Structures are given as C-alpha cells and as structure tokens.
Structure 1
Amino acid sequence: MSDQSKTTTNRKRGLGALLALAGTRKSSLIWAGIFSALSSVLSLAPLIVIYLVLLQLAHTEQNTALAGLWPILGWGALAMGLRWLLQVSGGILAHLAAFNILFDLRLAVADKLRRVPMGWITARSAESINKILRDDVDRLELFIAHHLNDSAAALTLPLVSAIALFYLDWRMALVTLITVPLAVLVQLLLWKKVPEVMREYNEVNARLASQVVQYVQGIAVIKTYHRGTAIASTGSTVALPQLVAAYFDVIVRMVKLTVPAWSAFTVVIGANMLCILPFGGYWYLQGSLPLELFVLCLLLGLGITRPLFQLAFFGSLMRLIQDGYGRIQDLMEAPELADVAGTLAPADNSVEFVSAGFAYDEVNVLQDISFKMAAGSLTAIVGPSGAGKSTLAQLLVRFWDVQQGAVNIGGVDVRELPLANMHAQVAYVMQDVFLFYDTVLENIRLGREDISEEQVIAAAIAAQAHDFISRLPQGYRTVLGERGARLSGGEKQRLSIARALVKDAPIIVLDEATAFSDPINEAQLLQALGTLTRDKTVMVIAHRLSTIIDADQIVVLDAGCVVACGKHAQLLEDCVLYRQLWQLQNDSASWKIKTAPADEQLALADTAVKGAASCR
C-alpha cells in the first residue's frame, strides 16, 4: 500500500475523522463528555460512604457515632442527586448534538447523490447506497449519542479509582491493577486477525442485502419458473443460497476469533480478586491495613473492571463504525458533475451534439456523434437495442458528461451552464417511470411549493390523467404505493407527462414513452404528448417507427455511431439498416404464433446483419 493510500485509510477510519463530524456542535459534545465523566466519578460516592461509616463506627463511641452518620448519609444522597443531574444533562446534550449532526449529514449525503454522475450511482446497488444512508449513519448516532459519553465515563472511572487506590495504599493499587496489562495483551494477540474478517463480513453482508432485495423484487419471475431460492449464478451475480452460505461461514469464523478473545479478556481482567483478597487479607492480619481501608480497596477493585469491559466492547464496535464512516466518506468524495457560478443562459432551444463521445468503464458506447436539433423541431433517435440511444438522451439531460466533444444548448456547452439553469432547460420523460411513495399531487409537482393545486390539476387534464386520478380513493390526495404500485404502466406514464408539463421546460426528451401501453392508453398518451411537446424542441427515442415518420429528422444509431440522418422517406431509400428496421416492424404487425423454419430464421438474421453493414 502506498503512503498516500495509508494516509487516506487513516483519515477515513481514525477517531479524529469521526469527531470532526461534530463541527460547530463540538462544544456540546465536550460538555456532554465532561458531565458523563463527572457522573462516573460520583458513582464512587456509595463506596466512600461505606468507608466513612466503617471508619466512624470503628473509631468513635457508640453515642456520638450514630449522630455522625447522618451528615455522611446526607452528603452521599446529595452526591447521588448531583450524579443523576450530570448524567441527564450529558445525555440530553449528546443526543441533541447527535440528532442535529446526523440530520445535517443525511441532507449532505442526499445532496451529494444529486450532484454525482448517474454512472457512479448505477455502478452500485441501490441496497449498498441505502445501507450508507440508513445503517452506517445510524451507527454514527450510537457513537455520538452514546459511545462518546460512555467512553468518557469508562475511561474516567478506572483512572480515578486507580489514583484513589495509590493514594490510599500503593500495595493494594498494584495487586488490583496487575491483571490489566495482561488482559489487554491477551486481547490484542487474539484479535489480531479480526479486522480482516470484519472487512470480509461487511462485503458479504452488502452483497447479501443486495441479492435479497433482487430476490424480493423478482419474486414473480422466480415463482413463474419454479426457481425457489436456487437462483442461478450469472456473470458476477452469485446465487442467494451461496451468499447465505458465505455469510454463515464468515460469521462462524468471526465467532471463532472473537469469542475466545473476549472470554480470555473477561477471565483475566476479573482475576484481580485472586490477588486482592489474599494479599489484602494478609496485610490486614499483619495490622498494616485497617479493615475499613481493606473493604474500600476491595470495593474499588471490584468496580474497576466493569468500565474496562465497556471500553473493550466499544473497541469492537468502533471497527464497525469506522468502516461505515469510511463508506460515507467514499460517497462524499465521489466525483461530481462540475457546476459553474453565474447566470449564463442559452440563446435559444436548439441542441447540437459536436463529435460527442462517451464510454462506460473504458468501453466506448458513443463515438463521434454529431447532429443538430433546430429550436422547436422534433428529432427521433432510432436503432437496434444497445446502439446507445438512451445514453445519448442522458448526455443531453446531463446525467453524465461527454468525454469527447460537446453537447450544446442554444450555442452553449451544457458544462458551462449553471446546473440549475441547465436542468431548467430539459424535461425527461423516461420509459421506466419512477413515482415516489407520496400523494399524486406531490408526485406531479415534485416538491415545488410554488405550483398550486389548480396548476397540477390543469397539467393532469392536459396529460389525460385527470379522469383516472379522480377515480382514486382520495383523488389527488391518494398516496401511491412504492414506485406507484397501484397504477398501470400507462397511468404512470401520464403522471410523468403531467410532471413534465408542470416543469414547462423548453426541451423535451421522450425515452420510448409509449412502450408499455395498450392501444387505448397509447391513444391517450399520444394526445398528452402532443400537448407536452407543442412549441418545444423534442428528442424522442422510438422503437415503433410508425410513430415518428413525420419527424423533422431521424437519426439512426448503430454500435454507438450515427450511420444515417434524414427524413423517413429519404432513409427508406438510402439506409439499409433503417429499411430493415421498418420492414421488421411491418412484419411484426402481422405476426402470428407459429414457428418459422430454421432456414428462414437464419436468412432473416443474415439480412439484418448485411443491412447494418451497408449503412456504415
């Protein structure tokens, strides 16, 4: 590992990085720690009361001894009341600071996700990002609200007890603490391999969580094909049973490593009684250790081990917390789409791709893409599956940045536009509509408080969605299920169009918006799309070529390259690939359920390949 890597690892996993989260609330955490430390010191008050009572009874006459007990008991009760007050104050300060810190952190993480390229997000499973937002941040709440205070108390109590023992009798202090270094050494030796297993545990746990989510989401397919949990491995995907077995194996290894270590620690640290009793008893019988002092040292020796157990437990939890915070920092340090300050705006609604190129993980997806969309025009993007059509559209809405060339809106490179201005220019109606677990009203206006309910209803009417919304149990106040589970595909699309109408952007991108519609829904969708795209610059990704024959221009993509560009009639005449796509669509319109002879299937495939080659 390089020095730079080591520095990064230390910065991510160090206690200082966790404490740096406090920011302006650091003083609250400091005071919380002080209050907890003082509260732990006051927990010694009952032991001091016992010592003073024994001292009073041993060295004072009976009549005066009883009278002298009341002040001692009174001071003891006062100490316990003060301890309660300090503990409550420390807990309140720590919890308020923790909730505020994590509130800011969750908002920061959510804002960061908004600014990173889509490629960074799609390269990770939804569950792994959910784990960061939920589990890893929740563990930080435990650290800030509980572990900091408890650690301050667990450090202070043994330290004060040790000082008191040395002050009272240095011999008793030595025999009380003699097992502590040995216990720490035993734990360090036995726990040496634990960090490696913990890293493996975190990896397997994340993969298992992702696979479980995939299993639940795909349960309909699994039931249809009677697969049960025996999901076959494909590529980098490991079957659920294998992941469960891997999780079981790593847990067993962790138990084998940690249980002996923890057991050895508890046995050794608690063995100080084997030293305190015989040595203390011997010195008492010798007369060099008074009985009341022997009892006090015995009680202090018993009490000194409990906070040491807590410290050891916190040490094991810190590994999980630090690993989780490392993942949070990885997210917060992810590359962002560059933003610029200012108020630069496009001159018009035209769009131009200038020798644009893009690659996923060094695999070229688009190469030397060049064409222009005039303001107010309709441009259709067609081509075989995998040609790069959706990626092209997503470069326009700046889900990613081009790696070569440029994408211009109104003569301005989108990378030179402030993100807020750029996003205001484009509305994206996706093929797979995402709806939030919220009301219909909020799904359409998408959190914009400046959009009134009347404007939302007007947009829904224009999008042919008002009728089915009105039939919902609470109309526009109906809470949709997860991802809009209560709605059909066509209804979701119409809500997506209503959302785009509310945005009222001058450029519209339609990614096969009618792909999942039945004929009735499609007619309504086409009417809604007509309203949405009126007087707009439109890019439409189409698989049904019959819907775009009147487009101002049709761009034909194949293998990430523009192989032809023109109107429908011109492309039918000049581009074999477009002609083949048109013919295949027409053939599919009269398709019936039958099996073509093998030689016909091979001939059809061969014709399509030759057509694609001739377009190049």
Structure 2
Amino acid sequence: METKRKTNIAFILKEAGSQKYKMYLSVFFSVVSGLCKIFPYILLQVIIVELLSASPDKEKIQLYIFICFGTVGINILFLALGLAFSHIAAFSILFKIRENAIDHMGKLGLGFFQERSSGQIKKALDEDIEKLELFIAHQIPDLAESIITPLVVIIYLMQINFWLALILFIPFLLSLLLQAWIFKGYEETMTNYNQVLKIMYGTIVEYIHGMRVFKAFNLSATNFKKYTRTVDEYLKYWIKICDDTIKSYTIGLTIIDTSGLLLTIPVGGLLYLSGKLDFSGFVMFLLLSTVFLTAFLKILSMGGNLARLLTGADNIREMMEVPALTNGDEYLEDAIGEVAFQKVTFAYDEKNVLENLSFTLKPNTVTALVGPSGSGKTTVGMLLGRFWDISQGSITIDGKELQALALDSLMEKTAFVFQDVFMLNDTILNNIRLGMGKTEEEVFVACQKAQIHDFILTLPNGYGTVIGEKSGIKLSGGEKQRIAIARALLKDAQIVILDEVTAYSDIENEKNIQLALRNLLLNRTGLIIAHRLYTIQNVDQILVLDEGQLVEQGTHRELLAKEGLYQRLWQKGGKGA
C-alpha cells in the first residue's frame, strides 16, 4: 500500500513537468510568508523587554512597531505570490493531465471502454483530476508552511526555555499517534469509497442514457431500484466514514487547540514564579505555544484529503498505464485494398468470440458478413480497424500485417460507417468535415453523392445549420446515416466497413441510402455487416458466421442453393438476428 502511495505521488510530480518550478516557487513564498507571521511575535518580546526597562526608548519601540507593520505587508505579498504560483501550476498541470489522458485513451483498444462504464471514465477525467487542484494549489504550500513554521517557533522557544519548549511535544506526539490511529487502514476505506462512487457515477449515466425508456414506462429515479440502491450505498458508506473518524478527529483538534495553554500556564507560571523564566519569555510561551501546535492542524486535516486524493490519482494513473495499441512503422502508400484474415482467433474475457477465421476481401469487391446475433460479425469489422488486437493468426492489408502498420496510415486507408451515428453539437459542415481539412466544395460533392445535399439546403442555414442535442434541429436515423456516408466519401479511404447502415431508416431514406452506398463502394473494398439480408443480395460474396466461425461462403444464389444457415435466415424474412 505504501508503494502505491509513493507511486501516485511520483505520478503527480512526473505529470507536473515544467510546472514543478512554479510549485517550488509557491513553496518558497509560502515558507517566507509563514516566517513573516512569526517575526512580529519575536519583535513583541523585544518591545515587552523595552517597556519593562527602567527608561523605555519610545523611538526604538515605534521602529519595532513599524517593522511589525512592514512584516505583515510582506506576509500578505508573499502569501499572494505563493497562492498565485501554486494555482497557476495546479491548473496547468490539470490541463496537461487531462490532455495526456484523452490522448492516451485515443490509443487504447475498445476493450478498455467496454470494461469501464462512461460514468467511471468521466469520474477519472473530471472529479479525480480536479482533486489534484486542491493538493497542488493549497496542500503542498500549506504542508511546507506547516513544517517550517512550528520548526522555527520551537527553536525560538527553546532559546527562551528548553524544558518548557520540550513539554509542548507531548500534545504534538499525542496528536500524531491519534492521527495514525484514525487513518489506520484509511486508504483501503478510500479505495472502497472510490469503488462505490464509480458504481454510482456509472448508474447515473446509465439512467440518463435510458431516460426515454424509463419515461415511457413511467419509471422515475426513485423507482429505478439500481439507481436508488447505489445512491443509498454511497450515502451509507460516507456516513460510516464520518462515524469512524469524527470522534477521534474531534479529540485530536481539542488536544491541538487547547493543550498549549493548558500546559504553558501552570508549568510556565511555576517557572516564572521561581525566577527561571522572565515575564517576556512567559508571554512568548503563552502566545507561541498555541501557534506551534495549531500549525499542525493543517497537517491533521490533510491526512484524509491526501488519502482521497491519492486514491483518485490511482484511478487516473491506472487508466494512463493501460498499454496502448502498438504503433507500427509501415505505411500503405498506394493501397489497393486486399484484406486477408488468416486463422484469426479473438478472445474477450477469456472467451473466444472468433475462432480460426480465414477469408479474403478482394480489391474493388463488396463482401457481406451475416449470421445470428452474437456470431462475431461486428467484431470482424472492429478487428479490421484495429479497435482490438487479435489473439492468434494474422490480418493483412496488401500483404502487410495490421500490427506492423502505423496507426495513422491504417486509419487513413479505412473508413467506418456505424449503425449509431455520432453528431457533434456543431454545424452540419463541421460535422461532415470533422477536421479533415477539406474545402466546402469537396464537402458539397461528397454530400451530393451521399444523397443528402438537397436535404441540407432545406434547413434554415443550410450547411451552417447547427445540429445536436442543444440545437433544436433533430435529424432522422436515415439522414444521420447519409451524413455518415458523406464523411466516408470525403475521407476517400480504400477500405470501407459498414455496420448495417439501413437499420434505422424508413423506405424513402433507405432508397437514398442504397444510392449513396453505391457511390461510396464504387472501386473500393467494401465490408458490410448486414442484418437485413435483402440489402446485400447483389454483393460479390457473403460470409456466414455462426459462433465465431465461418460456416458458409458464396453469393446470394449459391448460399440459398446450399440450404444451410443462410437459407434459414433468409426464410425468417430476409433478416439476420
């Protein structure tokens, strides 16, 4: 557990990068600010001595008072500088960590996202990273000040009276022991708390995504048992944490807050009466004993915050340490688009999804993948785009292994049109262009081929019309599919993978989509993951999958003549499940 703690702190410092110098400056300014707080107390003793002398020097006293005011001003200045540098460093580091995390996630296989809910990922990217701001902007400078200030105070008090200063370590040691006892096993508690929080975030996101279904069945958040159960578990666990720590924490605060005077007044009074401590020294102990001990309050409160922060840092670190897909160094300069699966096996959660799968996609041909639900059709398309890496066998494009290809080259030569089309809350022009750097004229041509140009012109602002959840403009499933096809046309990739793009379309949209697909697949290598078999009757070859294995292969007519699985699927209404 201690190794994990060190690893997480090392991770934060590593991510700090060049911003570490701002952190060091913030620590320096905070320490100077803390020393400036103590200096007026030291001057106060000098003033008291001067006032108790036979002939007090008023000019000297006035000078000391002015110095006190100057010290307070310097304290405020350095405190502001420390906070400024720590906050600049904190927000810069948070930005860099988020940027690195997003960049890293873009290089991960889809398995990473299937193993984690969107709520868990959101928590790591948002809440867990945000916690680092408290640590960097406040706790690091506070920790430096909380160490230096009592150290200087106790050294100064020891110069006045060594044994009385030594007595102040009694409540200090008691508070340390109490702190250790309070937070014994606290990191495990925070890990469990964090797990409960992850589940709650995932459930909330799940509820939001299923809002339409829940509304249709009049199922509110209160009636959604999974939601209420996870929220109740979170509440109960948080109450348990409070119950386990509040009593001991309160005792620790009381010891720190009152012990200084409780020990200094009787012991210091006896020393003063016996002549072993002068009046000014006694006053200094009355003032600075409290300063010495309360300086540790920040450390006392920091323990729980640090445990929560490091647990959050652990979530971010683990996410960023998930191995990314290896990036090859070969490029497909003039791809012709010949794809070969050779004895491919792919396992997910230790269960084979595909097993010993071999087939070839010839250039300038269209191949359809069909089969019952769960047969592995979509997985084949995802493997070709290298969203996952295969377990055994090989996948090649123009004879080059997929893993040997540079990822940007592979993405450049492949285009995907998914069943569920993602839309940005942006203009239609930007939704189609998607940062590909294409001109408006190129976008118009692609949209004409995708049979969506005329529809776009009917919208209030044409290609400048904003679409998305906040725009008020709602597109049908078929319209979204044609926009996705326009994206693929604009990309002009040699290999195109389609995941049943007519699933959400009506008759009129389906006709337009078929015309758009004809333009998209012209002179390209096409792979269609099909559920509606009547849409792929004229493709060059059909591959029939069942339980991850290739069971039939041929044209529509050839497969019907075989009277096998394909014929049975066709007889069910021309649809695969």
CA drift of 1:539 comes to 0.5
Q: 1:72 maps to what in 2?
A: 64
After superposition, the C-alpha distances for 1:405-447 in whole angstroms (9 at most, x for unaligned) are 1111112111111111111111000001122333333222222
Q: 1:438 to 1:148 in 2, by over 3 A?
A: farther
Measure the CA separation in 2 of the matches of 1:534 and 1:483.
36
Q: 1:421 maps to what in 2?
A: 409
Q: Counterparts in 2 of 1:317-466, with a 5 A limit?
A: 317-343=305-331, 345=333, 348-448=336-436, 450-466=437-453
Q: 1:114 maps to what in 2?
A: 106
Deviating more after overlay: 145-154 vs 564-573 = 145-154
Answering whether residue 178 of structure 2 is matched by residue 186 of structure 1, we say yes
CA drift of 1:482 comes to 4.3
Q: 1:312 is matched with which residue: 278, 290, 300?
A: 300
Q: 1:9 maps to what in 2?
A: 4
Q: 2:480 is matched with which residue: 492, 514, 526?
A: 492
Relative to the length of structure 2, the TM-score reads: 0.94
Q: 1:128 is matched with which residue: 104, 110, 120?
A: 120
Q: 1:61 to 1:457 in 2, by over 3 A?
A: farther
Contact in 2 for aligned 1:176/1:273 (Cα 8 Å): no
Contact in 1 for aligned 2:344/2:393 (Cα 8 Å): yes
CA drift of 1:265 comes to 0.7
CA drift of 1:474 comes to 4.2
Q: 1:283 maps to what in 2?
A: 271
Q: 1:292 maps to what in 2?
A: 280
Q: 1:226 is matched with which residue: 215, 218, 225?
A: 218
Paired residue type of 2:52: A
CA drift of 1:45 comes to 2.7
Measure the CA separation in 2 of the matches of 1:279 and 1:320.
40
Q: 1:438 to 1:312 in 2, by over 3 A?
A: farther
CA drift of 1:342 comes to 4.6
Q: 1:89 maps to what in 2?
A: 81
Answering whether residue 91 of structure 2 is matched by residue 105 of structure 1, we say no
Q: 1:519 is matched with which residue: 499, 504, 507?
A: 507
Contact in 2 for aligned 1:194/1:257 (Cα 8 Å): no
Q: 1:79 to 1:276 in 2, by over 3 A?
A: same
Measure the CA separation in 2 of the matches of 1:254 and 1:349.
59
- What RMSD, in angstroms, separates the aligned Cα atoms of the two structures? 2.3
Contact in 1 for aligned 2:335/2:413 (Cα 8 Å): no
After superposition, the C-alpha distances for 1:205-230 in whole angstroms (9 at most, x for unaligned) are 11011101111221222232233346
After superposition, the C-alpha distances for 1:489-525 in whole angstroms (9 at most, x for unaligned) are 2222122112112211111111001100111221222
Measure the CA separation in 1 of the matches of 2:6 and 2:171.
34
Measure the CA separation in 2 of the matches of 1:440 and 1:299.
69
Measure the CA separation in 2 of the matches of 1:458 and 1:7.
61
Contact in 2 for aligned 1:346/1:409 (Cα 8 Å): no
Paired residue type of 2:451: Q
Q: 1:258 is matched with which residue: 245, 258, 262?
A: 245
Contact in 2 for aligned 1:187/1:264 (Cα 8 Å): no
Measure the CA separation in 1 of the matches of 2:72 and 2:443.
61
Q: 1:154 maps to what in 2?
A: 146
Contact in 2 for aligned 1:353/1:408 (Cα 8 Å): yes
- Secondary structure at the aligned position of 2:444 is classed as helix
Answering whether residue 234 of structure 2 is matched by residue 247 of structure 1, we say yes
Measure the CA separation in 2 of the matches of 1:395 and 1:7.
40
Measure the CA separation in 1 of the matches of 2:524 and 2:470.
29
CA drift of 1:67 comes to 2.1
Q: 1:89 to 1:516 in 2, by over 3 A?
A: same
Q: 1:47 is matched with which residue: 41, 44, 54?
A: 41
Q: 1:597 maps to what in 2?
A: none
Q: Can you give the 5+ residue segments of structure 1 that lack an aligned partner in the other structure?
A: 1-5, 234-238, 589-607
Number of corresponding residues: 575
Q: 2:543 is matched with which residue: 555, 560, 565?
A: 555
Contact in 2 for aligned 1:434/1:483 (Cα 8 Å): no
After superposition, the C-alpha distances for 1:525-557 in whole angstroms (9 at most, x for unaligned) are 222222222211110111111111110111111
After superposition, the C-alpha distances for 1:82-105 in whole angstroms (9 at most, x for unaligned) are 222322222222222222222222
- Secondary structure at the aligned position of 1:44 is classed as helix
After superposition, the C-alpha distances for 1:302-348 in whole angstroms (9 at most, x for unaligned) are 21233211111112111111111111121111122111225454652
CA drift of 1:7 comes to 8.2
Paired residue type of 2:193: Y
- Secondary structure at the aligned position of 2:426 is classed as coil
- Secondary structure at the aligned position of 1:380 is classed as strand
Q: Share of identical aligned residues, percent?
A: 36
Measure the CA separation in 2 of the matches of 1:563 and 1:294.
94
After superposition, the C-alpha distances for 1:379-426 in whole angstroms (9 at most, x for unaligned) are 111111111110011111111111111111112111111111111111
After superposition, the C-alpha distances for 1:65-90 in whole angstroms (9 at most, x for unaligned) are 32222211222222222222322222
Relative to the length of structure 1, the TM-score reads: 0.88
Q: 1:37 maps to what in 2?
A: 31
- Secondary structure at the aligned position of 1:335 is classed as coil
Q: 1:580 maps to what in 2?
A: 568
Measure the CA separation in 2 of the matches of 1:409 and 1:178.
74
After superposition, the C-alpha distances for 1:282-310 in whole angstroms (9 at most, x for unaligned) are 22233332222222221111212332111
Q: 1:59 is matched with which residue: 53, 64, 69?
A: 53
CA drift of 1:10 comes to 4.7
Measure the CA separation in 2 of the matches of 1:498 and 1:347.
21
Paired residue type of 1:427: A
Paired residue type of 1:297: F
Contact in 2 for aligned 1:175/1:272 (Cα 8 Å): no
Q: 2:19 maps to what in 1?
A: 25
CA drift of 1:378 comes to 0.6
Q: 1:244 to 1:174 in 2, by over 3 A?
A: same
Measure the CA separation in 2 of the matches of 1:474 and 1:81.
59
- Secondary structure at the aligned position of 1:371 is classed as strand
CA drift of 1:201 comes to 0.9
Q: 1:600 maps to what in 2?
A: none
Deviating more after overlay: 179-188 vs 341-350 = 341-350
- Secondary structure at the aligned position of 1:43 is classed as helix
Deviating more after overlay: 369-378 vs 83-92 = 83-92
Q: 1:11 to 1:47 in 2, by over 3 A?
A: closer
Contact in 1 for aligned 2:330/2:404 (Cα 8 Å): no
Contact in 1 for aligned 2:335/2:494 (Cα 8 Å): no
CA drift of 1:60 comes to 5.2
Contact in 2 for aligned 1:380/1:553 (Cα 8 Å): yes
Measure the CA separation in 2 of the matches of 1:174 and 1:406.
73
- Secondary structure at the aligned position of 1:585 is classed as coil
Q: 1:60 to 1:453 in 2, by over 3 A?
A: farther
Paired residue type of 2:509: N
Measure the CA separation in 1 of the matches of 2:84 and 2:448.
52
Measure the CA separation in 2 of the matches of 1:7 and 1:405.
42
Deviating more after overlay: 153-162 vs 16-25 = 16-25
Contact in 1 for aligned 2:194/2:312 (Cα 8 Å): no
Contact in 1 for aligned 2:478/2:509 (Cα 8 Å): yes
